[in-house]
Chains A and B, each alone.
Chain A
Amino acid sequence: DVVMTQSPLSLPVTLGQPASISCRSSQSLVHSDGNNYLSWFQQRPGQSPRRLIYKGSTRDSGVPDRFSGSGSGTDFTLKISRVEAEDVGVYYCMQGTHWPRTFGQGTKVEIK
């Protein structure tokens, strides 16, 4: 199975400041169709996960543009340009190129 490794696992941030989460895969996520099937999810406390980004960098409908995804192959990044209070929660990456799908361990974002 593809192992997804996130860092950091805990991320204290100041409101209005940027934040960045790294996700690395043990195998390349480049699909035969050329896409990198890497998704990012946000899970706010007490809520179901919500997909933010798919195919590495495409934002889902309704996701604020302060969230951006980048990367290719085995290295991916989720960036929040200016953290807001509502961004508190746990963020997961997940690869959708190989079976079975696998998630990263999660990164907990909290406000300093």
Chain B
Amino acid sequence: EVQLVESGGGLVKPGGSLRLSCAASGFTFTNAWMSWVRQAPGKGLEWLGRIKSKTDGGTADYAAPVKGRFSISRDDSENTVYLQMNNLKTEDTALYYCTTLGLDYWGQGTLVTVSS
């Protein structure tokens, strides 16, 4: 059974940083391209970025609102993908989901609140 479990959310001040983790199981993680999607309270879904598998180069690409502030990385030895978020803004407040590339599997999300 595929499982994606996000963690690392919490309350952070504007300008601060946070690193989210997503532990994956139930599939061959090393071959998987992974994505992050967020949902602000009461709002729709926003795709943030994705990271390729190491065999496909391991590079990441990002949506414009987070490019330069967020970065995605992976540790295949731990079956974990990360979302490093820097220079956080109040508009980054959202539930952050880890997903497989095709968004066929989702985690339960981890809540990030950016507030002074």
Contact = CB atoms under 8 A, between A and B. Distances in A.
Interface residues of B, number: 19
A50 B45 contact: no
B108 A100 contact: no
Nearest to B97: A48
A100 B63 contact: yes
Contacts, number: 50
B46 A99 contact: no
A92 B37 CA distance: 13
B57 to A, nearest CB: 15
Contacts of B46: 103
B44 A41 contact: no
Given A1-B64, A48-B97, A48-B107, A103 B44 contact: yes
A94 interface: yes
Nearest to B107: A48
Nearest to A90: B44
A92 B45 contact: yes
Interface string B92-116: 0000010000111011110000000
A39 interface: yes
B61 interface: yes
Interface in B7-64: 35, 37, 44-47, 49, 61-64
A106 interface: yes
A100 B61 contact: yes
Given A103-B47, A105-B44, A48 B64 contact: no
Given A41-B103, A49-B103, A49-B106, 10 more contacts: A1-B63, A48-B97, A49-B45, A54-B102, A54-B104, A90-B44, A94-B47, A96-B103, A100-B47, A106-B45
Interface of B: 35, 37, 44-47, 49, 61-64, 97, 102-104, 106-109
